[in-house]
Amino acid sequence: MTTDSTPAISPPAIFKQILKPGFLAFFLLTWIIANTSAADSKSPLIPIGAARVDITPDYPVRLSGYGSRTAWNDGVEQKLWARALVIGDKEPVVMVTVDSIAVPGSIAELAAKQLKDKFGISRARVVLAGTHSHNAPHPARDYLPTIFATSLSEEEWRAVDRYGQQMLQGIVQAVSMAIQKQKPCSLSWAQGSAGFAVNRRKVKNVASTQVDHALPLLAARDEKGEVVAMLVNYACHCTTLGAVNYVCGDWAGYASDGMEQDHEGAVGLVMIGCGADANPRDRGNGKLAVTKSHGTEIAREVQRLLGKKMIPLKALPEVKFQFVDLPLEAAPSRAEIEQTAATDKRSQRRHLAQRLLKKMDSGEALATTVSLPVQTWRFGNALAMVFLGGEVVVDYALKLKQIYGPDRLWVSAYCNDTPCYIPSVRILNEGGYEADFSMIYYAKPARFQPQVEPTLLKSITAMLPDNWQKQNK
Ligand SMILES: [Zn+2]
């Protein structure tokens, strides 16, 4: 026997019920609730604004990222932008992403100071991230100083200085415009994925497989539900194009284009995760169609996530910022450096040795540590965002996700400075580009000590509270 407490209603009675005004109002209300996303219905409104400023050079520049390039750029394929997202009005947090190989520490600190002076925003509340496009201008004399086989000419260095100024002004202007455009918005996030990142390492014929395909999305919508800003993070080098010599934002630039075309007037910001040892699949010499397809893959996943129920973020994040000293091995002796400067076959190695000798001659000590900016934004128990400087390998993101769980953690690299690669103990043991040769491009006198990994992980976990760990969710 079954029981049913609902009284049976005959078909004509149903039509009579539907026609009653009270039933119609109830039906309309139910429809409105069902068609409003969870984020919109549950998030309090926060003043949020986003803007972008064109920072494409209209003069010859030297592109960064590949030491093999020897000439001025050959035209512009895609414009470059500084994009800003400003969340909150009294004590806002600011995210800036720049279509650039990096935002060097020297430019990041100047920008942060100007934002403090103009708008009273403290350093800890500002994130300055590069997309790591290898088709953007070299931005500063002190960034990747020994990437080129021979030093640039003075005319080329002056173009570097000019572009650095243009980037700095673009960053500050984008933030200023985003503040002016602020309006009440809801904020929410969701976790998606994209599949084109592949681990690029092969050492002694053993290929690494570690990869992080997570694509977290932070979205701001206005009172009408229109998307105002989208911020995504993906752990992959921005190098689908390869070493062609024209200006382009690479896959990150096309991902932003795709998001901004899907939502007219909105701003699509792209950050790069711990993808220092990941390259895009099927990359190569000027593959523009493949580059665009990688951008489209990101924009499509953003569209899918926006159509789903997203997790509301109800208040501004708690922010923390510090510089952490990461230990280097002892530098070679002066005799060894002199030998390298005189005889090494690799021109970058000779170039670095000459630079180190110059430093020693002027009485300057060689570096024993690398100072890395580490920053966190924690939105209650819903989401923690970790922003690391440097080219950070995937092991760090995977280990942090083991500690905190993958479903409420966001880990970005290339933030606030990119002083060099940040290898893990595994990669230091294996050797290869990310452990060794890349340190020459970044003008470091030696590789990292194995303590680099526990030192960095400890500094991050100290910035997120103990009770926030996975088991206590
Ligand atoms: Zn890189």
Of residues 345 and 404, more confidently modeled: 404
Question: Residue 36: what are its φ and ψ, rounded to 5°?
Answer: -105, 130
CA 53 to ligand 1 center in whole angstroms = 24
421 alpha carbon – ligand 1 mean position (Å): 8
- Cα(198) to centroid of ligand 1, in Å? 14
Residue 376 CA, ligand 1 centroid: distance in Å: 22
Ligand 1 centroid – CA 256 distance (Å): 20
**Apex 412 CA angle, 438 and 282, nearest 5:** 60
pLDDT at residue 212, rounded to an integer: 97
Ligand 1 geometric centre to CA of 120 (Å): 33
Q: Is residue 63 over pLDDT 60?
A: yes
CA 276 – ligand 1 centroid, Å: 6
Beta bridge partners of 373: 323
pLDDT band at 389 (very low <50, low <70, confident <90, very high): very high
CA of 130 to the centre of ligand 1 (A): 11
Residue 3 has a pLDDT of 30
- For CA atoms 148, 151, 156, 160, the dihedral sign is positive
> What is the residue-wise DSSP string for 10-64?
-HHHHHHHHHSHHHHHHHHHHHHHHTS-HHHHHSPPEEEEEEEEE---SS---B-
Strands annotated E in 175-327:
183-193, 197-199, 202-203, 206-207, 214-222, 227-234, 267-272, 278-280, 311-313, 318-327
pLDDT category at 21 given cuts 50, 70, 90 is low
Separation of alpha carbons 472 and 437, rounded Å: 41
pTM beyond 0.75, yes or no: yes
22 pLDDT band (50/70/90 cuts)? low
Alpha-carbon distance of 334 to 332, in angstroms, equals 7
Distance CA 264, CA 93 (A): 24
CA distance 6 to 68: 77
Residue 205 pLDDT: 86
pLDDT tens digits, 426-436: 999 999 999 99
Ligand 1 centroid distance, CA of 136 (Å): 13
Question: What residues does each domain of the chain span?
Answer: 41-323+371-425, 332-366
Higher pLDDT, 204 or 175: 175
Report how far ligand 1's centroid is from the alpha carbon of 312 (Å).
33
Question: What spacing in Å lies between the alpha carbon of 269 and ligand 1's midpoint?
Answer: 19
Cα dihedral sign for 379, 382, 388, 391? negative
Closest C-alpha among 53, 37, 44 to residue 269: 53
pLDDT at 33 over 80: no
Residues in contact with 406: Cβ distance below 8 Å, sequence separation at least 6, in sequence order: 191, 214
Ligand 1 centre to CA of 456 (Å) is 19
Q: Give per-residue pLDDT as tens, 95-151.
A: 999 999 999 999 999 999 999 999 999 999 999 999 999 999 999 999 998 898 777
Q: How far is the CA of 472 from the centre of ligand 1 (A)?
A: 36
The reported pLDDT for the residue numbered 470 is 58
> What is d(CA 310, CA 315) in angstroms, rounded to the nearest whole number?
15
Say how many Å lie between the CA of residue 157 and the centre of ligand 1: 21
Mean pLDDT over 5-18 rounds to 40
Summarize pLDDT for 347-371 with one digit per residue, the tens: 889 989 999 999 999 999 999 999 9
Flag whether pLDDT at 12 surpasses 80: no
CA of residue 436 to ligand 1 center, whole Å: 13
